[in-house]
Chain A
Amino acid sequence: MIYLDSAATTMQKPPAVRRAVSAALGRMASPGRGGHRPAMLAAETVFACRQAAAELFQVPDPEQVILTGSATQGLNLAIKALVRPGDTVLISGYEHNAVTRPLHALGAQVKVAAGPLFRPEALVRRFEELLTPEVACVICTHVSNVFGYVLPVETVAALCLRRRTPLIVDASQSAGCLPVSLADWGAAFIAMPGHKGLYGPQGTGLLLCGAEVKTVPLLEGGTGSASASQEMPAFLPDRLEAGTHNVCGAAGLLEGLHYVRRRGTADILAHEQALLRRAAQGLAEIPGVRAGVDPMLRCQAGVLSFNLEGMDCEEAAAALSERGIALRAGLHCAPLAHQTAGTFQTGTVRASFSAFNTAREVDRFLREMERLAPARR
């Protein structure tokens, strides 16, 4: 099986990640719940994970790094801290349901800064027009999970700072392959999964919190601190981390962070973009294939959406799966992104690459596409 679905989760992990998860399962207990060696070993691992994330994402203090179960959990924490029912929120036209569904549930008034694919200047202009004083917060994904479009989040962050509007960034597709900086962007929150570009296990995620932000717990419960009080602690990370930590996940994520740090985000991005370019060039030569590609790859990370003329996207993905190629099709939990790009009715097939994919795998994918395309004509 050739796995090209890393935008959902990276399946191939550095070997150290698997070893760390396995070792944690046998040796570590629950951090903050005891003074014995297994509990302290777990505490050291969790703290090392926070520190590694703080260094990679320029967070001043590891206490501002919250361990979550997913980017979705982090985004829910961020949104529910900043948005009250009826508030106006400005979002990009490429947001995932992890952003739009919480806003819908809160009854927020949502303004959408939409712009064509791979035209960041047009998107910035829409943000400038729509960021009016009643906007309670701005939410912008860094990279579209459907199209790989790298949104101009640095410019949007500067705009938010100038207009004193808090910003939430969804770094689900960028953490691990693009620079992500809480300090530089001045964001209120940055949410990311641990199991995609950071190569940790599924069930891990991070929420980076700005220094001055007010937070609201999604869960109340034990934190191993201030136990005599019935109020949740006022301090981070305990305030947002009720219940037993996913210690095995944190141990694996720590090794994933080490991997990204050692290899470097620039090198990982260059590798993924080389695969993207190879795939895009190959698809362009197959009749009946339409792919969403930034011609210069100026603002596209390692995600590529396409359609095969006359074939339903889910059928195409199923046919490719039978031929040993794992891709995802449909709306990718991002109907808004498809509406913005004009692919809502058809959906797309998505190929997404990781640091562990190879040019040979892309070539095999292209061969299978060539075989599939004539079969449909």
Chain B
Amino acid sequence: MVYYLIVCRSLTYAQRTAAALERAGITAHILRSPKIIDQEGCSHSVKVAERSLADALTLLARAGLSPKRVFVMSSDGSYKEVLL
């Protein structure tokens, strides 16, 4: 299943991000960022479904919550950065 990872600067930021998405009815799950996409070492990401990304980004921009980076997990298991 294809999904997106919104990489956040901190766990608390990820929690704020997930809370904002959940309040708007977008399912959001916090997880530790995979090491391969985590350039600074130890961060948290918010996982959203493929169909939710556009709405999620619009909502986060409105809430002033800017994602650090966004990655898509492809069906082959690899991560590709999404240019925002």
Chain A residues with a Cβ under 8 A of chain B? 31-32, 34-35, 40, 43-44, 47, 50-51, 61-63, 223-229, 233, 235, 237-238
Contact = CB atoms under 8 A, between A and B. Distances in A.
Contacts of A31: 11
Contacts of B2: none
Contacts of B30: 40, 43
Given A34-B32, A35-B32, A238 B43 contact: no
User: Which of B9, B10, B16, B40 has its CB near the most chain A CB atoms (within 10 A)?
Assistant: B10
Contacts of B13: 63, 235
Nearest to B40: A226
B31 A226 contact: no
A61 B9 CA distance: 15
Given A224-B42, A228-B40, A229-B41, A238 B10 contact: yes
A66 to B, nearest CB: 10
B35 to A, nearest CB: 11
A94 B73 CA distance: 59
Contacts of A34: 32
Contacts of A47: 11-12, 15
A160 to B, nearest CB: 26
Contacts of A62: 12, 15-16
Contact of A50 (B12, B32, B39, B44): B12
Q: Is the interface of B mostly helix, strand, loop or mixed?
A: mixed
A228 B32 contact: no
B12 A224 contact: no
Interface of B: 9-13, 15-16, 19, 30-32, 39-44
Given A61-B16, A63-B16, A233 B41 contact: no
A225 B9 contact: yes
Closest 3 CB pairs of A and B: A228-B41, A227-B41, A227-B42
Contacts of B10: 32, 63, 223, 225, 233, 235, 237-238
Contacts of A51: 19
B12 A238 contact: yes
A349 to B, nearest CB: 43
A308 B31 CA distance: 61
A224 B30 CA distance: 14
Contact of B43 (A40, A63, A226): A226
B34 to A, nearest CB: 10
A237 B10 CA distance: 9
Given A34-B32, A35-B31, A63 B12 contact: yes
Contacts of B42: 32, 224-228
Contact of A32 (B9, B39, B41, B44): B44
Given A32-B44, A35-B31, A35-B32, A225 B11 contact: yes
Contacts of B19: 51
Contacts of A61: 16
A277 B43 CA distance: 53
A235 B14 CA distance: 13
Contacts of B15: 43-44, 47, 62
Nearest to B32: A35
A192 to B, nearest CB: 19
A243 to B, nearest CB: 15
28 contacts: A32-B10, A32-B42, A34-B32, A35-B31, A35-B32, A40-B30, A43-B11, A43-B30, A44-B15, A47-B11, A47-B12, A50-B12, A61-B16, A62-B15, A63-B13, A63-B16, A223-B10, A225-B10, A225-B40, A225-B44, A226-B9, A226-B40, A226-B41, A226-B42, A227-B40, A227-B41, A233-B10, A237-B10
B9 to A, nearest CB: 5
A234 to B, nearest CB: 9
